[in-house]
Each structure stands twice: as structure tokens, then as C-alpha cells.
Structure 1
């Protein structure tokens, strides 16, 4: 199915099982029910919140089974799953045996676009281990600066179903896609797409690095104009080579160095384009200055180049790239400067929940007191510590798997002082900040970049970042 084609499905009387209540399951169940499908929702949980959600759906005539997400309902012709449900769940094994297809919420949104009579907007898609949300929001800012009706949607928190079925008619959508979502999106065909980077993550879900990379690579399938890859990460270019794309689709690289033909890069503090110009062998187009990127950390400049490449693939003029990047403001807890206290900067990068993100964060500063730790999710830290050792003034560790980081520090940075916090109560972050302040010297950066998930001590990375910021501000008030 070509990129601009709209799929039509006769939903009337079709038996569809929706796997999982929540941000994707409930809108999917409602949309399918409205189109005449016979919908059954299955959910593993059976708590108070699930029962309340079930009651709302049942009032519409939708069947809901709580506490049993494993059994395939009789007569099921299609499963629409929440993206987080693992492929080896009994429900999906039963579906495979019965020949029942499984779609994710992204696949459903792709199939339903244009279903309500609106123009089906093309998708500019972004995936990668890190930087997806920032890049998609930068892209949306650039598209808006070009006067296009757009939205940042997908894994970013705005439901794709809501975007494609809502009242607004978009010119183009900036779409963040996780590996989970891509796994369950077999017919997705983007206008253009980018894989920002690849590093081990979610391997417990995918089963192997190869399977994880293959799911990321699905974003390139059927692209019509550009497959954007990271020159510094050859695995992303390999995925472009393996993709089955529309004739004429081009491979476009982005690099922090001087770009070659068909690349975007940086020359003398200027973001330049040698891909979407008339004579890319000899000419380059200035797009923006590095100082237009907020913040201008190396990995964030890479994000900006990827966003610019997708925008240029869609025909956006250079001035809109500059204006969009200038207008962009990063989300909280992403290399967010909290305060300066006694010539020491305090930076919140709580969103750095894996080693790859933390590596980029650590590379942005010269002398660091690093606050790290949490749930490792199977990660190892030797390579991270080896690369960052010369930048570390000291380290404060907290959380369930802090010992894994401590062991890596002992092996590869034994001269770096380490504070190991055993406490896991709500005051632990305040102590972490206090101990980091003791280690810091004028000119240093105290950096919260945990390299781990937060759920051992906090509801999510946002709460962890807020705890850090609150502790820093309290300290700033005391020293004022």
C-alpha cells in the first residue's frame, strides 16, 4: 500500500478484541464500536480504576473482561493491542495459532486516517533509542513556522487516533514512534522517517538487539521521499539499506561534522543542508546557527539536524527551520538548567533513563558531579563509565541497582570519589543533592542523569526530576 493511499475496512459486525485498557485501548475500543465492530476489551488488571473504565465502556455496549488478558475470546477476527503488551503473551500466541492478525494503536490510526472524510495527512515519523520526543517537538515547531497545520503526536502523549479522527484537518503530522508501536504496525508507510540512534534498550520485550533494531527499522518501510539516518551510528544506515522503500526515496544523513552530499551537518557553528539543494555536490544551504538550538548540547544539535532533514524533505524553506528551532522550548527534565549556586550549575536530565541517553548528557559538560542510579533494566555500565571517567569530579549513587554502577566505577574510575546512598525514602534526593554539593567545585555541573528507570523510588522520571529541582531550589534559597 503506497504512502498516500487510505485503507478501508468494513468494520460492521467484525469481532475485534482490544488488548488493554488505558490511553490507547479505550480510544481504540470507542472508535471501533462507533464503526459497528463487535468489541471485546480484555485487561490483565482488575483494580478500582480498571472497573471504572470498564463500566464506561460497558454502558456503550462494549464487552469488557477484567483480570483475564491471556485468553483469546471466541470469534475474534482481529486484535488491537496496547503497545506495551509483549509479543510472547499467551493471547498473541493463541492469535498466531488461530491466524488472527494483531495490530497496535498506530496501525489502527494509520488504517482509520481519512475515515471521517478529512484529508489523510502524511506522516513524518521519528524513532530511535533516545531523542525522539525532542526531535518530534522540534519538527512540529519548524512545520508550524512554515505555516503548516501540524501536531506532535504518537508516543509523545497525544493519541494518534485522536489526531486522525478529530475535527482538525492537518497538513502533516510529526509522529513519535516507539519500537513497541512499530512492532505492531505492519502497514505503516510514512512520507519520510528518521532513526536517530540505536542502543540496547527494552531487550526484555524484544528478546534481542537484532529484533529491537528490526522493529525500529520498520519505520523506513515504504517511505516515499527520505530515510534519515545518523552518520555517527552506522546501524541506522544499515536499516536504510535493508528497507523496502518507494522508488526515488533517498537516504539522507545527519552529522555533527561537515556534511557530504545528501547530508545535513555543521560548518563553523552553522547548521547546513547539502541534501535538499539544487547542486548538492558543490553547494550547501545555511539553515540556522548552533546557538538557535536550545540547549546547544551535541546530542541536541543532532536532534535539530534530524528534525530539519525531515522538514526539508517535506519542502519546508530554510527560514522556517531557523524560526522553528528558535521558537522551540525543550520539555522539563531534559538537560534542564535548574539553578547556579556558588558557581556550580545544577542540571536536571531525569529523562536520561538508559546508558545511551546518559552518555550524551555526560558529554555535554566538562567537569561533573554525577547523580545516578535506579532500575537498570538489564543494562551494564562499564562502557558508560569508561567514556565519562575523565569528566567526573565525583558520583552520588542512589536506587535499587546503584551497586552495578558502583562496580563499574571501581573497575574503570577508581580515583573518582563515590557516595553510596542506601536510603530510598522521599528525602533521599535532598541528601543526594547535598552530598553532590559537597563534592562540587566552582565551574562544575551537578548533573542528575540516572542512566536508570525511576520506578524503584519515584512514580516516573518526571517525579524524580521534580524532587531534584525542589532540593536544588531549597538549597539555593538557603544560600541566598
Structure 2
């Protein structure tokens, strides 16, 4: 960071009393950064476990106070509250802050304020599903273009830590932002932003679908070059229409169909650009082939188009888009092919923790034995089942809220065989895979896309995916 920026920040915050809400990764990062700039920092967290106390001891060594076991009381004299993303706006601590006239912001906002005068631009991505994959795809494309970049925000290294490396450390950032982070980042103004899709999620946090969408739409505020939206999801286009952007910023659509002017899309299995070309009314630029996208499932091709749009908005050449997509490897548990056993493909999409994500997975295969269930988080499954019914060879249900899916299947796909495993123990996954193998026929796909959260049975979706993969390996060993 240049000396001018450091001095400016110290002048602004030196001696200020900052309360950091939450002892997680982003909270610790914010606390250390603010203390380093001379602020008097107190971290508050409702937990008081041994792990909490160990973290507190380390922060105490850095001169940071920690208040454990009480997350509702605002420390006296607080000038600013910095919250971790998951804290609800209705938290009592924030009500106290509002009553005292104290602002509440998030770690992304602090990172934005820490940027120097020559800071790397942000290419920002949000959406209900696909954020991480698209952000990583974008970073891969930017790297292929020879740019110094990092995938940050809701993934990877805390964004404050990356920004503090200085203005000259990076050329551009690929930034994944959750609705929580956007809610607490009022000053953020990205070079270009994208909303991939919108579907009901985290409504208990936001209070309504309207509030959730509005927070997603914050990513477009002040965009300089492009607001990227999903042509198939009109709600994303409406967010662009409402946004207050810089003069000359354009609306850029992406579609799985033939693109119109100012859109990216697909023609004869070719990803093409009709947005960042001369005479876009008549011309199109080839960017990559569908086969360059890994995996080439429809929703992942949409992710690739969104990433390409943001890269092209930043001036990246077509060849780098192709190379970046070819080089990209998705994280585990995202529509990952585990193995073929007796002519049946087994696919792990444990990351499909809501109905919108599961819908994308189910649309990727023609004949499916579906493993589903877990914690529904208030979701309903009628629309999901209706859309997938013709593709279902059978269904195996596990988890606490499996009855909700079973009832939707009874209403909308009564002819589909259903195995309801009355189990929520971790060993249920092995039984589910065995039942799915019994239902499957050669050429089918056994797809574990639960449409639910995992915490009723597993620590997280990663552990659920690992249990599925292990069960498939066991199945393969017994079928030899």
C-alpha cells in the first residue's frame, strides 16, 4: 500500500473505537487490520468455547480486546461496527448501534475503503448459485491473459488481507460477493458486475425476496463499464434497470441461446460475443467451444458466459477466454463425475444445497436416479419436481426433511419409484447409493443433488459429498 493511503487511513481511524462483530475468519482479518491502523478494536462474539478462547488469546496479544459470551451489548464509545457477513440486520447489537447513531458495515466495505488511489479494479459476481465457479473461471481467464489477479471476497484469502498487499500487487480482482456482504457494503463501486440468477434463498436473513433481490442488485451500483445479467432470468435484468451506474456503462446479457446485440451466447456449440465487438449488430466473435467448459452442463456454460462477459468488459482478448476456460478445474462436489459402475455414471453435486441449484443439475442429464434430501431451510419442492419428472428413473430420499420432497413427488410424479430411507445417520449415504444402483439402468446417471442443506447428517456439504464418493467407490469394488 502506498504511504499516502496508509497516512489517510490512519488520519481517519487512529484512536477510533471500532467494534467487530464475530470471531470468524473475516472478523479476525478486520480486527487485525483496523488495529494495525491505530484503531482501538473490540471483538464481540456470543460463543465461549475453547476454540473461541484460543482465538481471543491471540488477538489479545495484538492489543485487541475480545468480549465472549455476549453478542448483544454494544461496547461504550463505539464509533463504528464492522460485522461478519452472517450476522442478521435484526441482531440486537445493531439495534443498539442504530439507536446510538453508529454505522454498521462489513469487511468488504472496509476493504473497499482501504484501497489506494491506484488500486486494482474489481470485477464482481453474485447470484443465488454459481458464484464461486464463475469467480474462479473469471480468475482463470484473467490469468490466461497475463494479468495479476486473485479470486477473493466470499472465497479464498480474506479480501482485506489481499487489499493490504498494496495497489501495485494486482492488476484486477475477481470478487465473489454474497447477498450478506453486499448488504453491508454501501460504498462499493465495481468496474463491472454480474448477477448470475435469482431464486429464493436466505429469506430468513433478508426478511423477504424483495429485500434479498435488492441486496444482490447493489453489485451494479456505480458500475463503470458493464452490468452483466442473465437473459433467461428477467429479475436480473430488472436489477440492472434500477441501478445507478456511471455514464456509458452498458447492460450486457448472457444466454444459452443465440445472442442478440450486446449479448454473449451459444451458436452451434460455440460461445460467441456480440457485445464487445465492432458493429455488434452484424458481427460476432468466437470465444470458445462448449467442449472447453468443464463440465459442459448447461448451467456451467452460463457461468462461463458470465465470466467471459466480465473479462471482455475488462479488455481481455478472445484467445485468453478460451485458454482460461480450458485451464479451469471446478472445486469438488460441484457436479463432479465420481465414477462409472456397471454402465451407470455417479455424479456428486453436494453443493446443490437449494432447489435452484438442484434444478440446474437435474436439467443436465436425460435419465436420472436422484438422491435428495436434508434440511429444506423452508423450501418447497413442487416446481423442482414438476420440471424434473420426465427425467427421473427413480428417487432415493434421505435426511430430516425428505418427506417434503416425497410429498411433492406424490403430487407431481406419482409414477416414479421412490425409496424413502428413514435415516439421518452418516451411514445412510452408503445405503442410498446401493438403493440408487438397484434402481438405475445402463446409461443412467445417479445424481446426488440434495436440494437441501447438509447439517442434519453431515458437518457440511463437503463431508456429504465425500460420503457419497466413498459409497460409490465401495459399490465399484463389490461389482468387480
Q: 1:471 to 1:7 in 2, by over 3 A?
A: farther
Q: How many Å apart are 1:61 and its aligned residue?
A: 1.4
- 2:149 is paired with a residue of what secondary structure? coil
In 1, distance between residues paired with 2:422 and 2:110? 46
Contact 1:140 1:150 (C-alpha < 8 Å) held by counterparts: yes
Match of 2:50 among 40, 48, 54: 48
- 2:93 is paired with a residue of what secondary structure? helix
Q: Confirm whether residue 139 of structure 1 aligns to residue 141 of structure 2.
A: no
Q: Confirm whether residue 128 of structure 1 aligns to residue 127 of structure 2.
A: yes
2:147 equivalent in structure 1? 148
1:164 equivalent in structure 2? 163
Q: Confirm whether residue 278 of structure 1 aligns to residue 278 of structure 2.
A: yes
In 1, distance between residues paired with 2:157 and 2:252? 28
- 1:188 is paired with a residue of what secondary structure? coil
4+ runs deviating over 2 angstroms: 5-9
2:64 equivalent in structure 1? 62
In 2, distance between residues paired with 1:47 and 1:357? 34
Q: How many Å apart are 1:114 and its aligned residue?
A: 2.5
String of CA shifts for 1:350-384, please: whole Å, max 9, x gaps.
00000000000000000000000000011000000
What are the within-5 Å matches in structure 2 for residues 296-315 of structure 1? 296-315=296-315
Q: How many Å apart are 1:166 and its aligned residue?
A: 2.6
Contact 1:8 1:111 (C-alpha < 8 Å) held by counterparts: no
Q: 1:369 to 1:98 in 2, by over 3 A?
A: same
In 1, distance between residues paired with 2:431 and 2:394? 15
- 2:82 is paired with a residue of what secondary structure? strand
- 1:151 is paired with a residue of what secondary structure? strand
2:443 equivalent in structure 1? 443
What are the within-5 Å matches in structure 2 for residues 180-199 of structure 1? 180-199=180-199
What are the within-5 Å matches in structure 2 for residues 325-404 of structure 1? 325-404=325-404
Q: Confirm whether residue 430 of structure 1 aligns to residue 430 of structure 2.
A: yes
In 2, distance between residues paired with 1:55 and 1:335? 41
Contact 1:125 1:219 (C-alpha < 8 Å) held by counterparts: yes
In 1, distance between residues paired with 2:219 and 2:243? 9
1:463 equivalent in structure 2? 463
Q: How many Å apart are 1:427 and its aligned residue?
A: 1.2
2:116 equivalent in structure 1? 114
Q: How many Å apart are 1:40 and its aligned residue?
A: 0.7
Q: How many Å apart are 1:7 and its aligned residue?
A: 11
In 2, distance between residues paired with 1:7 and 1:77? 20
In 2, distance between residues paired with 1:7 and 1:96? 29
In 1, distance between residues paired with 2:15 and 2:22? 21
Contact 1:7 1:111 (C-alpha < 8 Å) held by counterparts: no
What are the within-5 Å matches in structure 2 for residues 217-228 of structure 1? 217-228=217-228
1:291 equivalent in structure 2? 291
Q: 1:446 to 1:221 in 2, by over 3 A?
A: same
Q: How many Å apart are 1:96 and its aligned residue?
A: 1.1
1:93 equivalent in structure 2? 95
- 1:200 is paired with a residue of what secondary structure? coil
String of CA shifts for 1:199-229, please: whole Å, max 9, x gaps.
0000000000000000000000000000000
Q: 1:396 to 1:6 in 2, by over 3 A?
A: farther
Q: How many Å apart are 1:157 and its aligned residue?
A: 3.1
Q: How many Å apart are 1:8 and its aligned residue?
A: 4.7
Q: How many Å apart are 1:426 and its aligned residue?
A: 2.4
**Unmatched segments (≥5 aa) in structure 1:** none
What are the within-5 Å matches in structure 2 for residues 1-20 of structure 1? 8-9=8-9, 10-20=12-22
TM-score by length of 1: 0.97
Q: How many Å apart are 1:6 and its aligned residue?
A: 11
**Unmatched segments (≥5 aa) in structure 2:** none
Q: How many residues align?
A: 473
In 2, distance between residues paired with 1:182 and 1:409? 36
In 1, distance between residues paired with 2:331 and 2:300? 12
TM-score by length of 2: 0.97
